[in-house]
Structure 1
């Protein structure tokens, strides 16, 4: 009890652009963030960006502490959950309007949607009534910030999961455009 158990993730890349694996939920988002960090190193930015990768997002307290002072905006990069009665997609960046903790910042969401339209980034806006993120954890701990949530579509979360390269690229593209605004 309490030990870590690691299982072969059975990673597979398909000819049609799908990535299948266990544990894609956070790994896909971290991969996108690391690629964005690498690209943004050579881009002159007008504001300070911080990238926060938590080991505790899945248990609900990842961003409840240790965020930088003077933070005004926090955009969590997690996963969109395509499925029955959902608007999310495995081929787009998914923008969360509301999760189990309540709505995210309306103006920030509309800004992200506008950036996607202006830059031809495929996106879907959705709600996740049984889902939480580091952004909702930060808000719940009292941070006075504008919060948002985006991510690639990951089908079959917390099982043998699947996403598509187009969704990873759309998420990456939105992160890059957000950083440059």
Structure 2
């Protein structure tokens, strides 16, 4: 196309979708509510979403050439926790869902989701939470056994907590603490990977508004178990190439930023497809989108899961740059919109 794609995207729509997605709790394994929302919004855009038995969403957009099917994947599941045990004090011991440092959730507000639909607020603390009481409070190791959740109810015993309907195996979601600033900065938990899902909504909104048909048939995959490693272990067999859209890691010797689209050439699963990665770089240059090519040695994606699951595909990875991943994350509106623009450039030509 001769006209750049970024100005044609509805940035406000993309950011509003991101805010809505961030407000819906969805730790891996507890994605029913958010997938219901995704399905409803997809329907408003004139598309339909099927769900696999595992709960993964698949949105099919017919292309000019239906003989080739391109998959684009992003995940709605996030980090979280689960009740491991109820202590004699009524406090909760928890087990992590996904990989994060315990110090990154110390002091965080949370919701405990019971199996019968009740929700209770709580706070993550160490077992020695006060410097006025515990001489070794500052030095105590931040590890699972030394952390607990204080429930915001009057509980003084295990029996009191059980009377609330809280049980071992109940899901726990972290307060995202989302802030969208007027200068474009967006800080929140779970930008990994709801920022990428918002970019996919921007792609769909543009295709529908402009009445455009992608060059090849698209299958947009909304994954629900990425944070625990098997989100896209299965993908439809007619997909021949898959772009995983996930947050770009920042720091150390990496060259990206929160305003870049990050293109990953290699992660813990090995190198991504040479031709697809090269094409993404060429399109980013053509569309004048700030981008960075990086290596993520401690990172895996839904494309990795698909390859490990036996899919005979080519694969690539890109996404908005996100600072402090799996902690208090931050990105910029430009990175999210630029990600949508790069995806559009890839699928319409």
TM beyond 0.5: yes
Query: Paired residues, what number?
Result: 180
Aligned residue number for residue 85 of structure 1: 253
For the Cα contact (< 8 Å) 2:237–2:311, is it kept in 1? no
Task: Tell me whether 1:171 sits opposite 2:326 in the alignment.
Answer: no
Q: Which residue, 231, 241, 259 being the options, matches 1:62? A: 231
Highest RCO, 1 vs 2 (Cα 8 Å, sep ≥ 6): 1
Tell me the TM-score normalised to structure 1 length: 0.95
Deviations 1:48-75 (A, max 9, x none): 000001110111111111x222211100
Larger radius of gyration: 2
Which has a greater percent of strand? Answer: 2
Give the deviation of 1:87 after TM superposition: 1.5
Please tell me the root mean square deviation across aligned C-alpha atoms, in Å: 1.1
Q: Point out the more displaced range, 48-57 or 5-14.
A: 5-14
Task: Tell me whether 1:6 sits opposite 2:178 in the alignment.
Answer: no
The CA distance in 1 between the partners of 2:182 and 2:239, in whole Å, is 42
Give the deviation of 1:8 after TM superposition: 2.1
5+ long unaligned stretches in structure 2: 1-83, 85-168
- 1:62 is paired with a residue whose SS is coil
For the Cα contact (< 8 Å) 2:230–2:302, is it kept in 1? yes
Q: Point out the more displaced range, 105-114 or 86-95.
A: 86-95
Q: How does 1:1-181 map to 2 (within 5 A)?
A: 1=84, 2-41=169-208, 42-65=211-234, 67-181=235-349
- 2:292 is paired with a residue whose SS is strand
Deviations 1:103-151 (A, max 9, x none): 0001110000001111111110001000000001111111111100000
Q: Point out the more displaced range, 18-27 or 31-40.
A: 31-40
The CA distance in 2 between the partners of 1:69 and 1:103, in whole Å, is 22
